[in-house]
Amino acid sequence: MALVQARTGKIRNNIVALLLAFCLLIPWTAAADVSLTLYLGPKKATINDTINMTLTVSGTRKTPPPFINGLESFHVFEGGSSSQVKIINGQYTSSIKYLYTLNSKKEGTFRIGPAEVIIKGKRYQSNTEILDITPPLHSKGPRLGKLFLNANLSSSRAYVEEQLIYTLKLYRQIRVRDVSLELPGNEQLTFKQLGDTNEYQTMYNGQDYQVLEVNYSIIPKAPGTYGIKPSRMRMKIFDSRGRSYGSFNDPFFNMSTGQSRLISSEPLELQVLSLPETGRPANFSGLVGRFKIKAGLTPSTIKEGESATLTVQTTGHGNIKHIPDIQFPGIEDIKVYADQPVLNNSFDNKGQKGSKVMKWALVPEKEGNFNIPSLTLSFFDPGKEKYIIIKTYPLDLMVLAGQIQDDKIPINLSSQDTTSKKQTIKELGHDILPIYTSIKGVQFDVPLRPRGLMIWIFLISPVMLYLGSFFAIKQRQKAFKTAGLNQARKAARIFAKRCGQEGLKANDLILYCRDYLNDRMGLHLGSLTALEAARILLLKGVARETSDQFFQQLKIMEAAIYSGRDDQMVFKTEDLIEIVKKIDKELR
């Protein structure tokens, strides 16, 4: 038992040591990559608004104070910092978050950032953010109270597939909780949230409001006039008006559950026009928005047999999923291998934006100067209300004399990837694989699940065997113990009975004493001396006086034997029986 406990303790110690090492490793692993992210919410605000700014430094939990560029036109208030460590799927990340609030001194468009921080002598920089500061809002309507919802559409007239921004602002001067939103969507108008909700302070109709702003992108799918029903927000409000709780005039302290309130925004109307037929390009893909296209060729000079990569990137705001796959026209004496286009999709305050990158590997088959023609893309610009065709610049590819290696030309489509690009296997047909015709496999029946006998033999019988053996051994041990106890109990009685015989000699009595001790104490003594007997009795807890008496009796018997007077002496056994009874009593 002690050995098992010691082992368990050892294992526990090892686990604790491992956990400690694991915890100690966290900061080291977490500080591996440092990166800075600057975030503004909102990105468009009035001069009265308070803008929240967050700088997240990932990869470390401690940094010197960061410096943020572009804040000359703002009053900056520091809101403290918080650090955190995350362990997700065995990946450790640590970060520190600096919070700021900004109030603009003037109107205009400002570039904020990059933020800079120096860690262990190395300078790290963040991204930059653009912030539009507009003149203050002047509401024409009546004062709208302590809580109201305002909906706004970026334009009340739009074209099919044009992206619109639907902005919902909850103005409040009271505390709210459990806010849920119901949007007025239908099949033709679907709402897609743009980024996270923003919370800031603003001045509206000369009053301070806390604003919760959320933006949605709407892309109408069909022409027509749509009435956008009011959006509805359900929440719990905690208004302290008309109540007095003394110094505890706060819903946090009064433990109130709040009142449920449903508020609606005003309905809006949207007129959606069909895309004009006039001027529609033949290959128009339905792309609506504002886009740019650019092309690059790397390298522009190669040897015959080598490959160059043509990259065409289309970027912009709008329904980017409609950016078409541009067809590369065939060029004589150049083999062209197209890569899978890559579409990136994200959101900003202007709505959905993204890019599509297409790559082709160009492998010239002979030397010379090749002209890569312009590639075109058409889209409808709702701002200009016309179709726009954009083109890439034509590019030149210079091919120098070199050795053609037939079809084993390495094709490198990715500029970062230096290993040779293997061609994916083209599937030319589809069918199932054939049947099994060999009897070998079918020869033996395979049971689906184990049958009763199998379960009995392999699962239950080992358990029963073990339990049977265990109990048998325990039973045997118990039997031994019981037999020993019985013998011990009867030892004095047997001794007394034996001593009751007539004409006992010293030799007989010594043998009886030995048997008594053997039976009483579970011993296996072959012969017994007086000294030995006394020592055993003392060890077993018999009083010294009794053991001395027993010793004296045995000593007399020994003397009789060794002096040769054993045959002449007849012992009186009453005293010896009394001593044994006394021993028996003391042993109990």
Partner 1 sequence: MRKIVLLHFFTLLLGMFSVAYCQETGWEEVFFKASQDYQKGRFEDAKKKYQLLIKSGKQNGYLYYNIANTCYRLGQLGEAILYYENARFLMPRNADLNANLAYARDQVQDDIDDPSSFFKLAFFWLDSLSLIELFWSFAVLNLVFWAILLRRIFSRSEWSYYLFLIIFIIWGIIGTSFGLKYFELMTDDRAVIFKKEVDVLAGPNSNDTLLFRLHEGSIIHLDRREGGWSLIRLPNKRGWVENNSIAIIKGHLPAE
Does residue 252 bind partner 1 (CB under 8 A)? Answer: no
Q: 22 or 458: whose CB is closer to partner 1?
A: 458
Residue count (the chain): 588
Say if residues 305 and 366 touch (Cβ distance below 8 Å). no
Q: How far is the CB of 444 from partner 1 (least distance, A)?
A: 7
Q: Which position among 28, 141, 436, 572 is part of the footprint of partner 1 (CB under 8 A)?
A: 436
Does residue 442 bind partner 1 (CB under 8 A)? Answer: yes
With contacts defined by CB under 8 A, name the span among 36-44, 135-143, 454-462, 503-511 that binds partner 1: 454-462
Q: 252 or 436: whose CB is closer to partner 1?
A: 436
Count CB-CB contacts under 10 A for residue 519: 19
Alpha-carbon torsion, ordered 485, 490, 495, 497, to 10 deg: -170
Q: How far is the CB of 11 from partner 1 (least distance, A)?
A: 9
Q: 224 or 462: whose CB is closer to partner 1?
A: 462
Q: How far is the CB of 477 from partner 1 (least distance, A)?
A: 11
Does residue 428 bind partner 1 (CB under 8 A)? Answer: no
Number of residues engaging partner 1 in binding (CB under 8 A): 30
Does residue 282 bind partner 1 (CB under 8 A)? Answer: no
DSSP characters for 557-580?
HHHHHHTT-TTT-----HHHHHHH
Does residue 429 bind partner 1 (CB under 8 A)? Answer: no
Q: Interface residues for partner 1 in 165-224 (CB under 8 A)?
A: none
Alpha-carbon torsion, ordered 66, 70, 71, 72, to 10 deg: 130
Q: 79 or 462: whose CB is closer to partner 1?
A: 462
Measured between alpha carbons, how far is 323 from 413 in angstroms, rounded to an integer? Answer: 21
Does residue 135 bind partner 1 (CB under 8 A)? Answer: no
Among 344, 379, 378, 373, which residue's Cα sits nearest to residue 358? 344
Does residue 425 bind partner 1 (CB under 8 A)? Answer: no
Q: Interface residues for partner 1 in 461-480 (CB under 8 A)?
A: 462-463, 465-466, 469-470, 473
Q: How far is the CB of 186 from partner 1 (least distance, A)?
A: 21
DSSP element (H, E) containing 75: strand 74-88
Q: How far is the CB of 438 from partner 1 (least distance, A)?
A: 8
Q: How far is the CB of 472 from partner 1 (least distance, A)?
A: 10
Does residue 439 bind partner 1 (CB under 8 A)? Answer: yes
Does residue 394 bind partner 1 (CB under 8 A)? Answer: no
Strand, coil or helix: 117: strand
Q: How far is the CB of 99 from partner 1 (least distance, A)?
A: 38
Q: How far is the CB of 435 from partner 1 (least distance, A)?
A: 4
Q: How far is the CB of 192 from partner 1 (least distance, A)?
A: 22
Q: Interface residues for partner 1 in 2-41 (CB under 8 A)?
A: 7
Say if residues 160 and 220 touch (Cβ distance below 8 Å). yes
Q: 28 or 436: whose CB is closer to partner 1?
A: 436
Q: Which residue has the tokens 């003594």?
A: 525
Q: Which residues does 379 contact at the CB level (< 8 Å), separation at least 6?
A: 284, 285, 287, 288, 289, 290, 291, 316, 318, 387, 388, 390
Measured between alpha carbons, how far is 410 from 359 in angstroms, rounded to an integer? Answer: 15
Q: Which position among 15, 85, 262, 454 is part of the footprint of partner 1 (CB under 8 A)?
A: 454
* Cα–Cα distances in angstroms (integers) from residue 556 to residues 118, 194, 353, 504, in the given order: 101, 112, 117, 14
Quote the Cα angle for 166-192-312, to 5°.
Answer: 105
Count CB-CB contacts under 10 A for residue 207: 14
Q: 394 or 462: whose CB is closer to partner 1?
A: 462
Phi and psi (nearest 5°) for 6?
A: -60, -40
Q: Which residue has the tokens 């905690």?
A: 238
Q: What are the residues binding partner 1 (CB under 8 A)?
A: 7, 430-437, 439, 441-442, 444-451, 454, 458-459, 462-463, 465-466, 469-470, 473
